[in-house]
């Protein structure tokens, strides 16, 4: 491919909107261009990468016997209504209507639609296991599109769905996909770790995410330094620290705390550590009020609260709720509160200072279990140094990008949609379901974020838009041009994908663009090299250059490319 004809121009400067180093490089290297917030067009260079990512995903899905299908993007409301997700997904979904007034969702995901086909196509136990998958656009009305292709409002997802007879079958399909995901990410150069995750709005219980650890990630991952425990913050738990025995002392005593409405103010005024206080957060859930009680040095985790309260969004209590519960804003405490009380598992049975439910007052020596009752639940954020729930080792928190997720959904969808099959024993049983997603664009953006230097992208060979970048310098030298074109032809005859910089630009511009675009091998045919009978070969990920005899250059590069390819085949 001649670079002069390539649609999409490289940018000297990154547009102001670029938020992360990888976002800047993605735009500068003409990988994709936005049409609006979170809506991107793949330019030719980027689309070549996307296609290679797709191909790796497809090969690994095919390897475990998955069958490719394609469902539409415009999906009738009726199927979503069967599971209730027509309503629950509304805040993040794009909807449309036809001219007859029928309603549709731009598919946010495809579980309902696949389950609909499965209940029609699968009649007997003999037809399972079955895994189907497709690559298809998803529409998600994200409030905050972010970091280029990392979080967008439309993207192609490979979503796979397994359909099995029973839990054992589902388990086999789940771990087959797990293995496929490990191979898939490794082949595209992503160092992804699997972590336990929350099932969110998907239903089901067991789920894993594949996370690539990087500072630009927006997920927080809890990792044990001693064993293999790894979980998303939304799901992670910690073992209770063996608290020092603290004497309970006498009954709660009221102390005056005028104007001290925050933990920080109490700490400063009373000279006690944050852990000495209880914080009580009043929330609204359905028709009632819920009080969540945590140690003063802990944060509540929103995802855990959503799951516990079974609500799509966590909402704080309003004035009327405070009045009904008998709480006073800034001075809320669990003692005597008229509300459902949830006590976080990190709250110990020892004296705390808590709100008195009276203006400008707190209660000292409040002992949970003695002075107030409540249901125990894990609703806190794990933090650095907490103890691993599995081995007691120290946990640490890292940032990650979720590049894939897998859900063991079980009979959840079949039950809601009446999807059964005729079992071997003549009874009707629900279709057991699993769901498995990878976003193509996010994978590409993550590869850029984790494969770059200060001059540009450093593509892994397996997904590079081209394998060799041939540069002719200067183009106006006919002998150089001829030699470069011969080399391009020889490389292409050897099966190498070549981008040929045939532009009349300076060496500085050409080398800068080459580093920016990040093709694994740069091969320079120059007037100076021709005098010496050599061609310069340089790997994008190394500093040193290699001057190869011109006559051997094509064969050498074909061999180098082949060696590099074989590492991820």
Which residues of the shown chain bind a copy of itself in the complex (CB under 8 A)? Answer: 1, 4-9, 30, 33, 35-36, 39-44, 47-48, 50-51, 65, 67-76, 79, 91, 94-99, 102, 104, 106, 113, 116-117, 120-123, 126-127, 129-130, 132, 134, 137, 139, 141, 143, 153-154, 156
CB nearer to a copy of itself: pick between 51 and 539 = 51
CB of 286 to a copy of itself, least distance (A): 23
| Cβ atoms of residues 325 and 283 within 8 Å | no
CB of 60 to a copy of itself, least distance (A): 17
Structure tokens at 416: 């809601």
- CA distances (Å), 115 to each of 67, 71, 178, 202, 533, in order? 15, 12, 21, 13, 65
CB of 569 to a copy of itself, least distance (A): 18
CB of 161 to a copy of itself, least distance (A): 10
Residues in contact with 99: Cβ distance below 8 Å, sequence separation at least 6, in sequence order? none
Q: How far apart are alpha carbons 331 and 317 in whole angstroms? A: 14
Residues in contact with 551: Cβ distance below 8 Å, sequence separation at least 6, in sequence order? 533
State phi, psi for 168 to the nearest 5 degrees: -65, -45
CB nearer to a copy of itself: pick between 39 and 320 = 39
Residues pairing with 194 in the sheet: 210
| Cβ atoms of residues 514 and 469 within 8 Å | yes
State phi, psi for 222 to the nearest 5 degrees: -100, 125
CB nearer to a copy of itself: pick between 76 and 392 = 76
CB nearer to a copy of itself: pick between 94 and 178 = 94
CB of 371 to a copy of itself, least distance (A): 44
CB nearer to a copy of itself: pick between 139 and 351 = 139
Q: Are strands 498-501 and 468-473 parallel, antiparallel or unpaired?
A: parallel
Task: Report helix, strand or coil for 501.
Answer: strand
CB nearer to a copy of itself: pick between 229 and 466 = 466
CB of 155 to a copy of itself, least distance (A): 9
CB nearer to a copy of itself: pick between 29 and 398 = 29
Q: Are strands 361-366 and 253-256 parallel, antiparallel or unpaired?
A: antiparallel
> Nearest CA to 407 among 170, 138, 206?
206
CB of 164 to a copy of itself, least distance (A): 12
CB of 32 to a copy of itself, least distance (A): 9
CB nearer to a copy of itself: pick between 8 and 330 = 8
CB nearer to a copy of itself: pick between 192 and 498 = 498
Residues pairing with 219 in the sheet: 400
DSSP labels, 134-191: EEEEEE---SS-BTTTTB-SEEEEEEEEEEESSHHHHHHHHHHHHHHHHHHHHHTT--
| Cβ atoms of residues 333 and 363 within 8 Å | yes
CB of 36 to a copy of itself, least distance (A): 4
Q: How far apart are alpha carbons 194 and 279 in whole angstroms? A: 33
CB of 18 to a copy of itself, least distance (A): 16
CB nearer to a copy of itself: pick between 62 and 384 = 62
């Amino acid at each position: 491919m001649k670079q002069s004809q390539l649609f999409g121009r490289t940018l000297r400067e990154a547009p102001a909107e670029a938020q992360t180093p990888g976002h800047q490089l993605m735009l500068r290297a003409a990988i994709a261009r936005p049409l609006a917030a979170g809506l991107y067009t793949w330019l030719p260079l980027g689309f070549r990468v996307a296609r290679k990512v797709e191909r790796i995903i497809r090969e690994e899905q095919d390897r475990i016997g998955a069958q490719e299908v394609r469902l539409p993007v415009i999906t009738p409301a009726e199927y979503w209504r069967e599971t209730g997700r027509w309503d629950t997904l509304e805040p993040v979904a794009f909807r449309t209507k036809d001219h007859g007034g029928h309603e549709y969702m731009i598919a946010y995901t495809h579980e309902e639609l696949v389950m609909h086909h499965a209940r029609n196509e699968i009649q007997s136990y003999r037809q399972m296991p079955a895994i189907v998958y497709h690559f298809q656009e998803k529409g998600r009305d994200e409030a905050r599109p972010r970091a280029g292709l990392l979080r967008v409002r439309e993207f192609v997802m490979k979503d796979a769905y397994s359909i099995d007879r029973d839990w054992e079958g589902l388990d086999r399909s789940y771990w087959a996909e797990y293995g496929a995901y490990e191979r898939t990410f490794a082949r595209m150069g992503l160092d992804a770790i699997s972590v336990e995750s929350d099932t969110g709005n998907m239903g089901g219980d067991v789920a894993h995410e594949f996370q690539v650890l990087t500072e630009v990630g927006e997920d927080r991952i809890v990792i044990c330094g001693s064993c293999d425990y790894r979980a998303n913050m939304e799901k992670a738990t910690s073992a209770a620290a063996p608290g020092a025995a603290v004497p309970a002392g006498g009954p709660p005593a009221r102390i005056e705390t005028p104007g001290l409405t925050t933990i920080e103010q109490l700490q400063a005024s009373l000279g006690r550590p944050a852990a000495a206080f209880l914080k009580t957060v009043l929330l609204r859930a359905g028709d009632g009020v819920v009080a969540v009680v945590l140690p003063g040095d802990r944060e509540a985790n929103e995802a855990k609260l959503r799951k516990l309260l079974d609500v799509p969004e966590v909402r704080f209590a309003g004035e009327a709720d405070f009045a009904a519960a008998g709480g006073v804003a800034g001075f809320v405490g669990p003692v005597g509160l008229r509300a459902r009380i949830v006590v976080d598992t990190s709250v110990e049975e020892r004296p705390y200072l808590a709100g008195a439910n009276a203006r400008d007052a707190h209660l000292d020596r409040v002992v949970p279990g003695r002075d107030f009752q409540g249901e125990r639940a894990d609703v806190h954020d794990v933090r650095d140094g907490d103890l691993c729930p599995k081995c007691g080792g120290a946990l640490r928190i890292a940032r990650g990008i979720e590049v894939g997720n897998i859900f063991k959904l079980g009979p959840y969808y079949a039950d809601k949609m009446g999807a059964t099959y005729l079992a071997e024993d003549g009874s009707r049983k629900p279709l057991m379901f699993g769901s498995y997603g990878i976003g193509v664009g996010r994978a590409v953006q993550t590869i850029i974020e984790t494969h770059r230097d200060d001059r540009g992208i450093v593509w892994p060979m397996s997904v590079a838009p081209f394998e060799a970048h041939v540069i002719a310098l200067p183009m106006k030298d006919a002998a150089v041009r001829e030699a470069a074109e011969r080399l391009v032809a020889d490389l292409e005859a050897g099966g190498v994908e070549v981008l040929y910089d045939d532009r009349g630009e300076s060496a500085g511009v050409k080398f800068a663009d080459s580093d920016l675009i990040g093709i694994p091998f740069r091969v320079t045919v120059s007037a100076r090299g021709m005098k010496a009978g050599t061609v310069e070969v340089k790997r994008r990920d190394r500093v040193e250059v290699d001057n190869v005899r011109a006559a051997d250059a094509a064969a050498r590069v074909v061999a180098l490319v082949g060696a590099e390819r074989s590492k991820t085949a």
